[in-house]
A and B are shown apart, each in its own frame.
Chain A
Amino acid sequence: MTASRVLLAEGAWEATPPGRAGRFGRTLRRMPITGLVGGVALAIFVLAAVLAPVISPYNPNEGDTLQRLMAPSQAHLFGTDQVGRDIFSRILWGARYTLGASLAVVVLSAILATSVAVISGYLGGKVDLVIQRIVDGWIAFPAFVLLIALISMLGPSLRNVIVVMSITMAGGMSRILRANVIVVKEAPYIELARVVGAGSVRIMFRHILPQIIPLVLILASVQMGGVVLALASLGFLGFGVPPPTPEWGSMLSGRARDFIYSAYWLALFPGLAITLTVLSLNLFFDSVRDVIDPRMRGTGRR
């Protein structure tokens, strides 16, 4: 055992987990049924997203205007939209954009939040003061307003949406992570590392970062449901990926509402897709969080 393991503070993470497969199995066994249901549903969505090019019966962007507004049938499981495109195919392909973009957002926001938190929390002093005042403003600004304003300036594209959402979501996460960094940096092994001559950068990367990674994973995963909803909301408001990209939120907006009474399937299936995806994400990751860190129960919510 190393000095760092001997001097672990109470409640800190174990430095040597028992093995990834073992931990995963233990997590699954301890997960409530709702989490398992959510996990299975999520797995189905992810599989559908990955296999969309193979299982999609039609090109999601091509339609036959002679087949427009057809009700669900054997030929078109979820019916066709106002320009004759197959809605089932668009839902499958939409899963790629939605889940892929959400993953990109949580990864980027986690990287940004972690960087800010580690630098600010470890260095402390004036650096921490300045950074945290910026974070104060960052958090105080209504996230959705900021999102819309920035996307209006930069233009609606998948890349811009991912970048802008990552930036707006990182603020709150960085504040939680910073608190953890402050606790970790007081650990005796950090002091030991300084004594033996380790520089700040080495300490931040080699000793502090590994300690907060599990928390980062939990926070990021819990946020994913919210990111999916935010992406759909942006698409609904016309600030998401430009058409004819099959994005669930934009499928719900505008034209679907024109046909809400005469062709309910235009709104029903994208709406269900969003609801079930967000629900399954929330159920699964909430359960994972509860199992891994019971202290986090009730925290980190959107």
Chain B
Amino acid sequence: MSRTIEGTPYWKRPWRMGGAWRMGRRAFVTGAGMTAASLALGSCGDDDNGANKPDAAQTAPAAKTEPKKGGTLTAGIGATGLHYDQHQLPGIAGDGLVYNQLLKLAAGQKVVADLAEKWESPEPNVYVFHLRPGVKFQNVAPVSGRPLVAEDVVYTVDRSRTNNPAFSNGWMWTSLTSLQATDTSTVKATFASPFAPALFHFAAGSMGVIAKEVVDKFGDLKDAKSRIGTGPFILKEARKDEVVRHTRNPDYFDAKLPYLDGTEGLVIPDRLSRIVALRTGQIDMIGWQNGVTDLEEAKRGMSGVTVETRPNDAPTVLAFNHTSKPLGDERVRKAISLAVDHQALIRAAGGDNAGTVVGMVHPTGAPFALPPAELAELTKPDLVEAKRLLSEAGQDAGFSVALTITSTDAIGIDVASVLQQQLQKIGIKVTLDLQEFATYVRKLTTKAFELIWVGSWTAALDPGQQYHGSLRPGAAQNWWGANVPEVGVLDDKQLAEMDNEKRAKIIQDLERLNFQKVVALPLYAINGWTAWKNYVKDFDHLQAFNALGWENSLIWLDK
């Protein structure tokens, strides 16, 4: 969703900076399963906190306040990540505090410059990126502040597509035929054919540019000490499930930034405790929280705090192990999808406004997403047809199946219990298989599951990503063993289509195909909230989840 200036309170209006309009609010997101230092920015959301309602009497814009330097921003986060290797974490994982990418994502899924100052496309399948001058790695051994060179970008991409099941982002580069440093500051990427998602992939949060000597020293990037990049903050300390601290990088290529002296991610596993910590001033902000059940609690008794809601970029998905019987049968999967009452699941997640019925393409990905009316039709329950399909598939007597879900996903567990009841009506007995996160990931990536709850499917970099990266036959993240050839055919078409309008139509066809074949079943996109103290300035909660907090350098504290 986009915001307009009209109707926006004066303290939230954007200001002109360097000739470009910037959004007035910045966002900070901590992602589960990603390093605690990754903070994301959000997108437009309705302001439903009474304290934040615009004052109609305010007509004159406020004088622009110069950002103040100094201070440490403390955020309450749920957990630290599994480890720090961005290429070996499921989904898109990275760190916008420590790393820069070649390009980056701004609000509205817009690709903007980062390490690449400018780029051009001399041919539809070729991109040439020109690195900005004067960028250095952080002054931490083994890179010790050396200049960034084009070869570092090449190394980063090559490493991300290591031929190893543990490396989860290789799917982004399957059609990249060559990536070369034509000189120390120029990178040329050649794809096998016109590749519509190319720029989005270079902007992926997991494409933070790394140095080879760091990997050589540490073996991989799992150790927090190996998190060394060119970004505005240096990782100073990381204690698993306790705290993550960063200090400002004095050699950052933009000398004005960052404004903060440092950031601190304090692990407070319990959500209510995080709210209390914000209320009592122990922390300055809480990054995006999945679900709105505690939204009222988050607003209660908070003075000098802004609370904003926004939908998750990533849908909650019920995934099937296509290699297991009888889920490998399309009729069984279709029967399951017809037994699901999506609106009831949304209510279970927190009420009628707790989420939105979506396809794999989030509605904010318009025009690529299906229209809401069509989505409503495609997701209408039909128990009679569901039973008929099960009977046709030889499952009249029903069957038992286990649904794997992370034990920490309290909302997901509640919603899954409602799903259990819904599937019980067509004779499918679902048992909840609760697993702690590391075991859940292992089960996911080794196909040791029957049904699996993906509470937050990867937020899309690019509209067709869900199909290209996870649902087409042979995709690198096709952990479910899905093998629907038609998905591959349509995916090839959308990848090669550079015209957005035509591409949108193909992706919509993919969505329709998915609802027909039920490769994976998107259930809803849940709403969530973010809260921060009013003295935390220029915090934009609207940035895409995949941006992973690069705008932290723009945050400053007015205290």
Interface residues of A (CB under 8 A from B): 61-63, 65-66, 68, 82-84, 152, 156, 238, 242-244, 254-255, 257-262
Contacts and interface: CB of A to CB of B under 8 A. Distances in A.
Interface stretch (B41-49, B174-182, B412-420): B412-420
Interface string B343-370: 0110110110000000000000000000
Nearest to B345: A65
A259 B293 contact: yes
Contacts, number: 61
B217 interface: no
Contacts of A254: 410
A83 B349 CA distance: 8
A38 to B, nearest CB: 34
Given A83-B414, A258-B272, A156 B434 contact: yes
Contacts of A259: 293
Contacts of A261: 296-297, 300
A244 B432 contact: yes
Contacts of B350: 82
B392 interface: no
Interface in B283-324: 293-294, 296-297, 300
B277 to A, nearest CB: 15
A66 B294 contact: no
B297 A65 contact: no
A62 B417 CA distance: 8
A82 B345 CA distance: 11
Nearest to B343: A65
What are the 9 closest A-B residue pairs judged by CB atoms, nearest first?
Answer: A65-B347, A244-B417, A254-B410, A83-B348, A65-B344, A258-B294, A258-B293, A65-B348, A83-B414
Nearest to B436: A152
A156 B345 CA distance: 25
A65 B418 contact: yes
From A63, A156, A260, name the one whose CB has the most chain B CB atoms within 10 angstroms.
A63
B420 A244 contact: yes
A82 B434 contact: no
Interface string B391-422: 00000000000000001001101110110110
B272 A83 contact: no
The range of chain B's interface size is 20 to 34
Interface in B190-223: none
Interface string B226-250: 0000000000000000000000000
A63 B413 contact: no
Contacts of A83: 348, 414-415, 417-418
B271 interface: yes
A255 B418 contact: no
B407 A61 contact: no
B356 to A, nearest CB: 16
Q: Is the interface of B mostly helix, strand, loop or mixed?
A: helix
A63 B300 contact: no
Given A243-B417, A258-B271, A258-B293, A68 B300 contact: no
A62 B419 CA distance: 10
B295 to A, nearest CB: 10
A98 to B, nearest CB: 19
Contacts of A243: 413-414, 417, 432, 434
- Residue from B348, B413, B414 with most neighbouring chain A CB atoms (10 Å): B414
B307 to A, nearest CB: 15
A288 to B, nearest CB: 39
Given A82-B414, A260-B297, 19 more contacts: A61-B417, A61-B421, A66-B344, A66-B347, A68-B351, A82-B293, A82-B348, A84-B347, A84-B348, A152-B436, A243-B417, A243-B432, A255-B293, A255-B410, A255-B411, A257-B272, A258-B410, A261-B297, A261-B300
Contacts of A61: 417, 420-421
B527 to A, nearest CB: 15
A238 B344 CA distance: 25
Contacts of A238: 407
Contacts of A257: 272
Given A152-B436, A156-B434, A255 B414 contact: yes
Contacts of A152: 436
A244 B431 CA distance: 9
30 contacts: A61-B417, A63-B421, A65-B345, A65-B418, A68-B347, A68-B351, A82-B348, A82-B350, A83-B417, A84-B347, A84-B348, A156-B407, A156-B434, A238-B407, A243-B414, A254-B410, A255-B410, A255-B411, A255-B414, A257-B272, A258-B293, A258-B294, A258-B297, A258-B410, A259-B293, A260-B272, A260-B297, A261-B296, A261-B297, A262-B297
Nearest to B297: A261
A27 to B, nearest CB: 44
